[in-house]
Amino acid sequence: MLTNVLAWALKKLAQLIILRYRPGIIGVTGSVGKTSTKLAIAAVIGPSRRTRFSKGNLNNELGLPLAIVGDFSENEVKIVSRDTPEGEKKIGKSLFWIKVILTGVMNLIRRNNDYPEILVLEYGSDKPDDIKNLLEIARPNISVITAVGEIPVHVEFFAGPDELAKEKSRLIEQLPSAGFAILNHDDETVMDLKGRTRAHIFTFGFQKGSELRLTGFRNKVESGKPVGVSFRMEYGGGSVPVEINGVFGKVQAYASGAAAAVGLIFGINLIKIAESLKAYRPAPSRMELVAGAKQTTIINDSYNASPLSMHAALDVLRDLPAKRKIAVLGDMLELGEYSMEAHGRVGRIAAQVVDFLFTVGKGGKIIAEAAVKKGFSKKRIKSFDSADEAVDEVEKAIKKGDIILVKGSHAMELEKIAEAIKQM
Q: What is the DSSP letter of 141?
A: S
Residue 182 CB partners (closer than 8 Å, separation 6+): 142, 143, 144, 145, 202, 203, 204, 258, 261, 262, 265
Low-confidence ranges of the chain (pLDDT < 50): none
Contact 366, 344 (CB under 8 A): yes
Q: Mean pLDDT across the chain, nearest whole number? A: 92
Q: What is the pLDDT of residue 211?
A: 98
Kindly report the pTM of this predicted structure: 0.92
- Could you tell me where in the chain the CATH 3.40.1190.10 domains are found? 2-277
Q: What is the pLDDT of residue 59?
A: 73
Condensed to tens digits (0 to 9), the pLDDT of residues 201-244 reads: 999 999 999 999 999 999 988 887 788 899 999 999 999 999 99
Distance CA 29, CA 41 (A): 13
CA-nearest of 273, 279, 408, 299 to 346 is 408
Place domain 288-423 in its CATH homologous superfamily.
Mur ligase, C-terminal domain (3.90.190.20)
Half-sphere exposure of 8 (CA within 13 A, CB side): 5
Q: What is the DSSP letter of 280?
A: -
| 3-state DSSP assignment of residue 74 | helix
Distance CA 214, CA 166 (A): 27
Q: What is the pLDDT of residue 93?
A: 85
Residue 122, φ and ψ in degrees, nearest 5: -100, 130
Distance CA 102, CA 100 (A): 6
- Could you tell me where in the chain the CATH 3.90.190.20 domains are found? 288-423
Domain 2-277 in this protein, CATH class: alpha beta
Q: What is the pLDDT of residue 351?
A: 98
Torsion of CA 392, 359, 82, 313, to 10 degrees: 110
CB burial readout 203-237, b (16+ within 10 A) else e: bbbbeeebbbbbeebebeeeeeebbbbbbbbbbee
Residue 333 CB partners (closer than 8 Å, separation 6+): 153, 156, 305, 363, 409, 411, 412
Contact 394, 292 (CB under 8 A): no
Residue 297 CB partners (closer than 8 Å, separation 6+): 225, 226, 289, 290, 291, 322, 402, 403, 404
Torsion of CA 164, 10, 121, 46, to 10 degrees: 180
